[in-house]
Amino acid sequence: MVFSSNIFLFAFLPLFLATYYCMPMRGRSALILLFSYVFYAWWRPDFLSLLVGVTVLTYAIALVMDYTQDAAKRYRVLFAGVALNLCALAYFKYANFGIDSLNTALLALGFTRIEFTHVLLPIGLSFYIFHAISYLVDIYRREAPPARNLVDFAAFIALFPHLVAGPVLRYHLLAEQFRSRTHTLEKFSQGCVIFMVGFCKKVLIADTVAPLADAAFAAPIPTMADAWLGAVAYTIQLFFDFSGYTDMAIGLALMIGFVFPENFNDPYTSRSITEFWKRWHMSLSNWLREYLYVSLGGNRKGVVRTYINLFLTMLLGGLWHGANWTFVLWGAWHGGILALERYWLERFKRPLLPAWLGVIKTMLLVMIGWVMFRAVNLASAGNMFAGMLGMHGLGFSPEVSWQVSADRVGVLVVGIALVYAMPWLRKNKGAYGRYLLVPLFVWAVATLSSQSFTPFLYFQF
């Protein structure tokens, strides 16, 4: 089920909220679990068994780990638990990619290819596997006690606001809220507002500029105008789509008393890539730092290992997004820049550029990264870069020009303006926004009816 759908907004959510608030506190985890499973199974009921399997197995392993006193044994149990979760992720997410890459190599060497039935990627798998790993590691590190029962734990994994596309939550930050949390009108109202803002971001901005990005990335020989339009449009689309989604997730959680950490903090105003990763998809950055970078040794094993760990974390973070060399390249791009920026700062003790120039430089680097991220393969990414350099001509190509309409470009400009005006608006003129929210939300709900199905971009990861 998708947050921006009639069935969610007008059937699932009211029914859930009504029963949730009628239910005594002790039954609420079970209710969340039941509704979350319906939410998940609406896409494909058969993959619910995988979610249940991962949940039960992880819960059992954590119990064993918690009862084990011997440190070495505890580590082995943790290792087995994390490995099993990663095996599930590897099979469903990377088997096709691995076999396809192997077949390419085999064919190049003159061997016959391996026959293989492609595996369907269960929606949200990457997210709930990360949640399960977070639980295991937190119990291992004794940062949180094990869930008091399977229902609480299953509800943490399946909690529908974050189930299919995050934010990626660390168990120890949410454990206490499963035990007790407050429900106030203030929280509920704030949640509604945050949800409405996210809904408008997705439906009114991200979905409107999407055709521009789609057209540019589909152009066989993108010109300079095509490629830059595509890069800018995708940069805006991805931000409003994903931050819109997480706003909705945060808002929904707040409606039932959960406080999720923020996931975006004006990332496109960052002055460096290092700062960008402190502001973009913060829950993933934190997860990667806490469970991957630290586990790799972080900065505790010398200068060289620190750089290698930084690079590896981003490379694996890139691969987590999808089984494609484009994501590996994107991860390497960001990992490489992070390492360079760290080196520069340690060597010269000051940023490379003044703040305003730093923002422009960061945006350019981020956009180049998004091109790799959006392209269907490396050749397509190379083709877009050639276009951005003007190697295929300057003006719009026929494939793109007919899709460039004034309203789409207008919304793109509004999107760009909002990205940069938002920090100032929030501080100074935020109150005026209240007059716009309700009409914009009504318009977005109406627009939803006239659109075909538009899933969130992060559903594919």
**Active site positions, annotated:** 321
The nearer residue to another protein, 148 or 301, going by C-beta atoms, is 148
Q: Tell me whether residue 349 or residue 434 sits nearer to another protein (CB atom).
A: 434
User: Is 398 near another protein (CB under 8 A)?
Assistant: yes
Contact status: 119 vs another protein (CB under 8 A) = no
Residues 316-355 that bind another protein (CB under 8 A): none
Task: With beta carbons less than 8 A apart as the criterion, state whether 197 and 437 touch.
Answer: yes
* Shortest CB 353 distance to another protein, Å: 28
The count of residues interacting with another protein (CB under 8 A) is 76
**Least gap, CB of 36 to another protein (angstroms):** 15
Among residues 402, 417, 424, 460, the one that binds another protein under rule CB under 8 A? 402
Q: Does 410 bind another protein (CB under 8 A)?
A: yes
Tell me the closest approach of the beta carbon of residue 194 to another protein, in angstroms: 4
Candidate residues 166, 251, 322, 387; the one interacting with another protein per rule CB under 8 A: 251
Structure-token pair, residue 265: 């903090």
Residues from 46 through 65 that contact another protein (CB under 8 A): 46
What is the phi/psi pair of residue 128, to 5°?
-75, -25
* C-beta of 100 vs 143, nearer to another protein: 143
Span near another protein by CB under 8 A; candidates 60-68, 335-343, 349-357, 427-435: 427-435
Site string for another protein, 354-393 (x = CB under 8 A): ----------------------------------------
Please report which helix (H) or strand (E) contains residue 461, including its range: none
Residue whose CB is less far from another protein, 292 or 339: 292
Contact call for residue 426 and another protein (CB under 8 A): yes
Question: Is residue 259 close enough to count as binding another protein by CB under 8 A?
Answer: yes
* Residue labelled with tokens 């390497």: 332
Backbone angles phi, psi at 101, to 5 degrees: -65, -40
Least distance (Å) between residue 45 CB and another protein: 6
Interface with another protein in residues 149-208 (CB under 8 A):
172-174, 176-177, 181-182, 185, 187-198, 201, 208
| Smallest separation, CB 257 to another protein (Å) | 9
